[in-house]
Amino acid sequence: MTETTSQHVDISQFSATSLEVMANQATINIGAIGHVAHGKSTLVKAISGIKTVRFKSELERNITIKLGYANAKIYKCDNAKCPRPDCFKSFASNKPVQLPCKRPGCGGKLQLQRHVSFVDCPGHESLMSTMLSGAAVMDAAILMVAANEPCPQPQTAEHMGAIEIMKLQNVVIVQNKIDLVDQKSAETNYEQVKSFISGTIAEGSPIVPISAQFELNVDAVVEYLYRHIPVPMRDFNASPYMVIVRSFDVNKPGAEVDQLVGGVVGGSILRGTLNLDQAIEIRPGITFRDNQNGIVSKPIVTKIASLRAESNKLQFAVPGGLIGVGTILDPMLASKNRLVGQVLGSAGRMPSMYKEVVISYSLLQRLLGSNLEKCKQVKVKKLAKDEILQVNVGANKIAARVTAVKGDRAKLVLNKPACAERDEQISLSRKIDSQWRLVGWATIIQGKALSM
């Protein structure tokens, strides 16, 4: 794959759908959400060819525990006689912008239309906060529903509530495991799905029946991803702002000193662009307790050593898609996801860090998830002074104590600093039956900046 280079091109002349950009980098993030074991990871693999279930604990239990990631390119045949959905195909992200159409007798060329990143979210109720972290970088969502189970299942409802809070306007519903039911059962399930999404942000979204396991009708899903989910408008000229959703040390044990490379962070750029050798800042950075000032944070300042989108090397990276940023940072600081939830941008041009925030909040009327019949009877109680919540600020999961409540406003003291912007939307979770359960959302009105 040819590297993109910022030294000979004007980045401001490109858009998120420019071939020069899509050839190397995904420009839209699509979340795979839904109840546990409904086939999210299987569908992502069918589209991208990449298995997102990688960790030993995930393989043993056959479920997604951590957020999974995979990129794919979506193509459309340029032969007008090539029938749909066969004219739509998807391949791994290292393929060129044009490929031959392999449909017998077609003779057309598959032309690149989209380059997407999938965020594969865990469906188990105990991992809801992990799903909310993934939602921070999503532009759209695939909601997976199993045709062999009644709809909605507990986390189907809870994930739907989450994307409504995040205001994801574009959703494709996938009715999976169609190979396990007869036609009448499939039609009954289809009507259940339609009833479930009625009145929600997903009302009117396409419902595509498939078998992800046997890759049946996956081309139709690919077509709807192209037709139903537009690429968001991106601001390439703004100061860069990236949400970190993973970080790691890529050095192998026993590596020689001259072979060592700096820590790597992965995430999605929300605005602006990143370039090789650019000075960057990671906030909140290193946090510690000072006897004089209490909680203190020291932002991490470093330099970009490499940029990658999976196997594609980049000279610059634009908003959308999931990017790996190699740095000259001590790899220990990035190892084992230590920087997850932090944000990255140009040195000296980052938002403030807060230990206390004032929010304007809204609560769900009733609880979502676990036992649906029971949840329908459980009203979400108002926030109370001194109660402990879990808030998701971007991809950062933070415990917070409510210190004051008045009307729809509340003051929260965070147990660790958050780098955030005013008017940023956050989710609120409350511990119910030993699980953090989504109960509402809020907007940051103001905050008390942290000393550095």
Residue-level pLDDT at 141 = 92
Pick from 140, 153, 147: nearest CA to 35 = 153
The separation between the first and the last C-alpha atoms of the chain, rounded to the nearest angstrom, is: 43
Please give the full DSSP string across 348-369, using - where no structure is assigned: T-PPPEEEEEEEEEEE-SB--S
Region of poorest pLDDT, from 329-343, 388-402, 421-435: 421-435
- CB–CB of 285/297 below 8 Å? yes
Q: Helices 154-165 and 128-135 sit at what angle, rounded to 10 degrees?
A: 30
Residues 60 and 245: their CA atoms lie apart, in Å, by 24
Q: Say if residue 108's pLDDT is above 90.
A: yes
Region of poorest pLDDT, from 3-7, 29-33, 244-248: 3-7
Percent helix, strand and coil across the chain, each rounded to 5? 20, 40, 40
Token reading at 76: 């459309």
Region of poorest pLDDT, from 9-18, 186-195, 236-245, 273-282: 9-18
> What is the average per-residue pLDDT within 251-275?
91
Counted residue by residue, the chain has a size of 452
What tens digit of pLDDT does each residue of 68-92 get? 788 999 999 999 999 999 999 999 9
> What is the average per-residue pLDDT within 16-33?
88
Taking residue 107's Cβ as centre, other Cβ atoms within 10 Å add up to: 12
Q: Say if residue 316's pLDDT is above 70.
A: yes
DSSP, collapsed to helix, strand or coil, labels residue 283 as strand
Residue-level pLDDT at 8 = 46
Q: Say if residue 369's pLDDT is above 80.
A: no
Residue-level pLDDT at 9 = 54
Token reading at 81: 């006689």
The continuous run of DSSP H or E covering 44 comes out as helix 40-48
Taking residue 328's Cβ as centre, other Cβ atoms within 10 Å add up to: 12
Residues 360 and 358: their CA atoms lie apart, in Å, by 7
Token reading at 215: 């890759």
Residue-level pLDDT at 413 = 95
pLDDT grade for 125, boundaries at 50, 70 and 90 = very low
pLDDT grade for 185, boundaries at 50, 70 and 90 = very high
- Of residues 65 and 29, the one with the higher pLDDT is 29
Pick from 106, 153, 114: nearest CA to 16 = 114
According to DSSP, residue 133 is labeled: H
The continuous run of DSSP H or E covering 334 comes out as helix 331-334
Q: Say if residue 132's pLDDT is above 90.
A: no
pLDDT grade for 66, boundaries at 50, 70 and 90 = low
Conformational region of residue 233, where left means phi above 0, alpha means psi within -120 to 50, and beta covers everything else: beta
Please give the full DSSP string across 143-166, using - where no structure is assigned: EEEETTS-S--HHHHHHHHHHHHT
Tell me the residue ranges of DSSP E strands in 5-108.
28-34, 68-77, 88-91, 98-100
Q: b/e string for 396-429 if b means 16 or more Cβ within 10 A?
A: bbbbbebeebeeeebbbebeebbbbeeebbbbbb
Average pLDDT, the chain: 86
Q: Say if residue 160's pLDDT is above 90.
A: no
